[in-house]
A and B are shown apart, each in its own frame.
Chain A
């Protein structure tokens, strides 16, 4: 076990998979000569050369589609979006090409591609560069959507994503790149996609959180423990396919649910999780499911306003108390 940042864990995953499989290549803006806008790809150009690690022009639709085409003829591209905000330009290729190719070709062309990069809220970069759009991608059958919250998860899940034969949207969190944690050294360490992780066990309230909300939820759980409330924190890790069983099992135990996310609440991932819990565990609910989401406004620039948008420990604590009927 080594203690790594999420940034280093991702770098290790890419490096190991580039080493392991010649068909894997990395393309994106500033991934090579600049060593990555967020330094996730640091040192990879030096190690693997310009054939495998390729700086692309700022042409998201183009290089996303190029990646899909390359995947059609046997390559396994890792396409980095400098941030997922820019993936919006590439959605035609991600959704209409990558997600649907296997189906509309009657099973002939699968697309083994990873679209990765940071997503979610950033620090004071206002509306266009600070947003969580995972629910867009999770909406579409044919795509898998992964959001890690720890260095070990980041590494294990990214390696699985690269080895997976389907298109995977892999959304990292810019604010979390420096978070540290233990990561297994085994170069074959992977974490299967579609498996949720219980980050903390508890008995009174289930908190489902992903990405940035996981450490926030864990802090909230700690605070609540001091007040005698035992929270179970579940990180689905993969949004699609969603490991709803693990969530349901927990809900049946605790009977109360708080769903935390940075994204807007409307049509968000937690709206879906909430609905599935209601469908599958209605008779186990002792309180209405409570969502804690990003405020339903574009991200403001001013620090104080920005702080109001992203859910924090206090908001999760308040939601837990509400569902646990604690004044």
Chain B
């Protein structure tokens, strides 16, 4: 049975993809799950797997060429099977990007995982991960469907326990229980699981009318995300000492000042849930953990790999992860879930000798901290002029969710901990 290979959706924002490399050539036998090609998306180079058994009979999109989502890029079929009709079909009409969970054709194909538009009322905005049933059709009892809609649970994240995998009431109840999640509207104190398994859980609180009015008015003033900026200067001597001390314990740790900043910011964020938040039009989403996006410059752009739950990780864990993610970011090997869904970001241009700058928020995050270079400066301490390692940071805040005082208090905490890193262990 001949099967079409189409350009898959490999990132949430991908609209077209470029074939970086075919890993099989025409005439090669392929089996399901085998890597078939590498595809450059807007964010990363991703591996595409074959979803059918057979022979790679025809490559339609060659290396270096691009194709929109859903377009036929190759055909897998039996060695002698007639694929003319499939080819002419592909030529006649470029396939439309998949919009909805379409019923799967008889043979498996590289059907892109359907992605809901960011519509907060209907979905939690995270990528869908669970697979539909073997028939390709999701089986849900009417009640379970309704409960899931009300609790904003993505049914595709669930495994049905009823006959033929039917998702039933108890599956939803189990999801609500184990996922520490409940309908945000009724139980504001509980968090519900994000669709990306490693991402922070969150709870949604309805945005008040006042909050929405503020949001509306600010947006009309300065673009869709109304930024404002808070700058402070932090004395980094003790942080630097601590770094030196830790690295002296084990030279392999290679803790950087930036790692310390990540940890401190993460700790400050969980102390200031108002900042670890995101404006979602009708509600404000508060995250349980601080997932810190770390801006990494790469050859022709910028990507922000995410340190999940940085508030719960040790400095050495953070340091290791940052290094590993940055390396892969530079070689464009990040998976989408590794660079999406941060709750707050940090951009550090200190290594470029920048003293102070403002960074642009990565929506829907509520803020980003722009970190400048650490430099020795004369400062007044106890009426005496002394030399201290000073670092200027500027926080960009989404005014729809963070007000001036909220941001300032958060920054105060960041400053306090960085200046007295012992707070990290207190």
Contacts and interface: CB of A to CB of B under 8 A. Distances in A.
A283 interface: yes
Contacts of A103: none
Interface residues of B, number: 12
Contacts of A284: 142-143, 146
B102 to A, nearest CB: 24
Contacts of A286: 141-144, 168-169
A286 B171 CA distance: 11
Nearest to B149: A283
Interface in A300-327: 325
A282 B168 contact: no
* Majority-rule SS of A interface residues: loop
B271 interface: no
A287 B146 contact: no
Q: How big is chain A's contact interface, by range?
A: under 10
A285 B161 contact: no
B162 interface: yes
Nearest to B145: A283
B143 A283 contact: yes
Contact of A255 (B143, B162, B163): B143
B162 A282 contact: no
A285 B143 contact: yes
Contacts of B142: 282-286
A313 B144 CA distance: 29
Nearest to B144: A286
Nearest to B146: A283
B167 to A, nearest CB: 10
A325 B143 contact: no
Given A286-B169, A287-B168, A325 B145 contact: no
B328 interface: no
A196 B40 CA distance: 66
A285 B145 CA distance: 10
Contacts of B169: 255, 286
Given A286-B141, A287-B168, A325 B162 contact: yes
Contact of B170 (A283, A285, A325): A325
19 contacts: A255-B141, A255-B143, A255-B169, A282-B142, A283-B143, A283-B145, A283-B146, A284-B142, A284-B143, A285-B142, A285-B143, A286-B142, A286-B168, A286-B169, A287-B162, A287-B168, A325-B163, A325-B168, A325-B170
Interface of A: 255, 282-287, 325
